[in-house]
Amino acid sequence: MSKQVYESPLSSRYASDEMQYIFSPDKKFTTWRRLWIALARAEMELGLPVTQDQIDEMEAHLHEIDYDLAAEKERQLRHDVMAHIHAFGAICPKAMPIIHLGATSCYVGDNTDVILMREGLELVRDKLVQVLAHLAKFADEYKALPTLGFTHFQPAQLVTVGKRATLWMNELLMDLEEVEYRISSLRLLGCKGTTGTQASFLELFEGDHEKCKELDRRIAREMGFDAVTPVSGQTYSRKVDAAVLATLSGIAQSASKFATDLRLLCHLKEVEEPFEKNQIGSSAMPYKRNPMRCERICSLARYVIADAANPAVTAATQWFERTLDDSANKRISVPEAFLAVDAILNIYSNVASNLVVHEKVIEKHVLEELPFMASENIMMDAVKRGGNRQELHERIRVHSLEAGRNVKDLGLSNNLIDLIAADPMFGMSREELTAHLEPSRYIGRCPEQVTDFLNEYVNPVLEAHAAALSQKETELKV
């Protein structure tokens, strides 16, 4: 490619070859030709003057696309579908008279869009499963490792590193369910004609309504679909595009949540994304380990979330049976959403499979906050020894404020245990108080929750999509 013209970073830096192929010109225009072949075959089988020789000729030249001729014809005709009809007809002279018989441009354009979106969603589904597999392994390994939980990014009750990972996974399972629903619910447009009335086909079939319906069914079967859109104008409803991109936006949201959490954990030096031997974190500061992969996830996710507004606005502003203000927008917004989500999942999988956990730092942070978290247990223990709950609560509040000032204002260690040990109201030795500072006492059911979640929700999904786990994962380009 010439370096003197714009190239999309989604192609040159981020998206996989597999996703790029799905939205490539070759895939698009060979799908147009497959649809023309399916149309001709169904018309022949239903009695129209189409011959097997004509179909054989089209099938023999399916992949021979003269892009120069197609471009020349489009310059002349100002119509991309007619240009490719002429390019196909040039190498299929016998079939030329029946190519596109009775159809309108949306027959190839819209049906192809649905086919490509379905294939794109299938690839996204497989990559979601791969990410889930990596996170499942991580969650299981660290299901019992106590770590600070945060609400409002303030230290809260302890959780575990593995339990936190299940929160990321649960959102991905929601996304996977959405993706599978979208795949199963996508319908081919079929052959509906210029305003969706099938008038041209009714004319071809001399008023036979059943043959018009059967034409739709046969084309759908050949293209791998169980059903077609029941009613339409010239196009399928643009709400379909909006729904698909909403699903992709959901994945972007989940991935951004994960990446944001990891960026914060990287700041805390508790968990980090992989950092390669020769990787440079900063051109000016050699010591830096910037979480650039997670930052890239967040950056691309922001693009997808914003991009999802495009088909929503398009769907809301269509006029009657057809306008063309959707075309230029959807040529960009739909493929780029798929390419960006593909890139997001490639990075997500790379990061999730190589997470670095700094257990000593996590332990240090837990022990710094644990005296505060243990205060309620200490109070209950003192009550059992005959103390007054309300008075003890007030004394702990006072001691906690003093310990907090020592930490925040003086830079000292948390001395709450020492303050309580010196308070005769509690009547407890430092050793007795320290016994309350065992982190595993404060993680609740985290290990059990992780095990149950993996066994009941995640593992069945991984087993159902085992084929996805055998596929080679995309290597990051940058």
User: How do residues 215-230 score in pLDDT, each as one tens digit?
Assistant: 999 999 999 999 999 9
pLDDT the model gives residue 5: 92
pLDDT tens, residue by residue, 52-93: 999 999 999 999 999 999 999 999 999 999 999 999 999 999
Nearest residue to 34 via CA among 60, 62, 67: 62
Is 399 catalytic? The answer is no
The C-alpha atoms of residue 240 and residue 146 are separated, in whole angstroms, by 45
pLDDT the model gives residue 288: 60
Domain ranges of the chain: 18-98, 106-140+158-207+223-275+282-358, 361-437
What percentage of the chain reaches a pLDDT higher than 90?
A: 86
pLDDT the model gives residue 373: 85
Is 282 catalytic? The answer is yes
Q: Torsions phi, psi of 278, nearest 5?
A: -105, 10
- Phi-psi region at 457: left, alpha or beta (left = phi > 0; alpha = psi -120 to 50): alpha
pLDDT the model gives residue 123: 98
Give me the mean pLDDT over the 335-353 stretch.
97
Q: Residue 401 — very low, low, confident or very high, per pLDDT cuts 50/70/90?
A: very high
pLDDT tens, residue by residue, 121-142: 999 999 999 999 999 999 999 9
Q: Is the pLDDT of residue 234 over 90?
A: yes
Q: Are 43 and 204 in contact (CB under 8 A)?
A: yes
Give me the mean pLDDT over the 162-179 stretch.
98
Q: Is the pLDDT of residue 289 over 90?
A: no
Among the listed residues 63, 152, 283, 470, the single catalytic one is 152
Instruction: Please tell me whether residue 9 adopts helix, strand or coil conformation.
Output: helix
pLDDT the model gives residue 296: 97
Q: Are 159 and 147 in contact (CB under 8 A)?
A: yes
Give me the mean pLDDT over the 179-205 stretch.
97
Structure tokens at 377: 């247990």
Q: Are 342 and 123 in contact (CB under 8 A)?
A: yes
Q: Residue 375 — very low, low, confident or very high, per pLDDT cuts 50/70/90?
A: confident
pLDDT the model gives residue 281: 59
Q: Is the pLDDT of residue 278 over 80?
A: no
pLDDT the model gives residue 32: 98
pLDDT the model gives residue 275: 74
CATH of domain 106-140+158-207+223-275+282-358: 1.20.200.10
pLDDT the model gives residue 364: 95
Query: Of 406 and 223, which is predicted with more confidence?
Result: 223
What fold is seen in the domain 18-98?
Fumarase C; Chain B, domain 1 (1.10.275)
Site of tokens 């970073």: 9
pLDDT the model gives residue 230: 96
Say which residues have a Cβ less than 8 Å from residue 306's Cβ, sequence separation at least 6: none
pLDDT the model gives residue 84: 97
What fold is seen in the domain 361-437?
Ribonucleotide Reductase Protein R1; domain 1 (1.10.40)
Nearest residue to 92 via CA among 51, 47, 43: 51
Q: Is the pLDDT of residue 264 over 60?
A: yes
Nearest residue to 170 via CA among 463, 469, 457: 457
Q: Residue 166 — very low, low, confident or very high, per pLDDT cuts 50/70/90?
A: very high
Q: Torsions phi, psi of 271, nearest 5?
A: -135, 140
pLDDT the model gives residue 478: 75
Give me the mean pLDDT over the 184-203 stretch.
96
184, burial (CB in 10 Å: exposed 0-12, middle 13-18, buried 19+): exposed
The C-alpha atoms of residue 121 and residue 186 are separated, in whole angstroms, by 11
pLDDT the model gives residue 435: 87
* pTM for this prediction: 0.93
Nearest residue to 112 via CA among 208, 36, 3, 215: 36
Q: Is the pLDDT of residue 1 over 70?
A: no
Nearest residue to 167 via CA among 141, 135, 128, 131: 135
- Average pLDDT over the chain, rounded to an integer: 94
pLDDT the model gives residue 374: 87
pLDDT the model gives residue 211: 98
Q: Is the pLDDT of residue 287 over 60?
A: no
94, burial (CB in 10 Å: exposed 0-12, middle 13-18, buried 19+): middle
Among the listed residues 12, 184, 185, 282, the single catalytic one is 282
